[in-house]
Amino acid sequence: MIEILTMITMLGSALFMLLAALGILRLPDLPTRMHASTKAGALGAILVMFAVSLHFADGVVVAKSIAVILFILITAPVAAHAIGRAGYFVGVPLWEGTVKDELKERYDPETHRLYSGLETPEQLEAYKKNLDMKPRIRLKSKKKS
Partner 1 sequence: MDIVIKITFAIMGLAILVVFVRLVKGPTLPDRVVALELVASIMVGFIGVHAISTDKASFIDVAIVLALTAFLAAIGFARFLERGGPRHD
Asked if residue 39 binds partner 1 (CB under 8 A), the reply is no
Give least dist CB 60 to partner 1, A.
Answer: 7
**Amino acid in the structure at residue 39:** K
Exactly one of 64, 107, 118, 124 binds partner 1 (CB under 8 A); that residue is 64
**Best CA proximity match to 118, nearest among 132, 108, 128, 104:** 128
Indicate the residue among 61 and 124 with the shorter CB distance to partner 1: 61
The answer to whether 93 and 29 are in contact (CB under 8 A) is yes
Number of residues that bind partner 1 (CB under 8 A): 52
CA distances from 78 to 34, 75, 83, 131, 144 (A): 12, 5, 9, 36, 39
Residues 78-117 that bind partner 1 (CB under 8 A): 78-79, 82-87, 89-90, 92
Contact between 51 and partner 1 by CB under 8 A: the answer reads yes
Does residue 10 contact residue 48 with C-beta atoms inside 8 Å?
yes
Taking the complex as a whole, the smallest distance from the CB of residue 13 to partner 1 amounts, in Å, to: 6
- Regarding 1 and contact with partner 1 (CB under 8 A), the answer is no
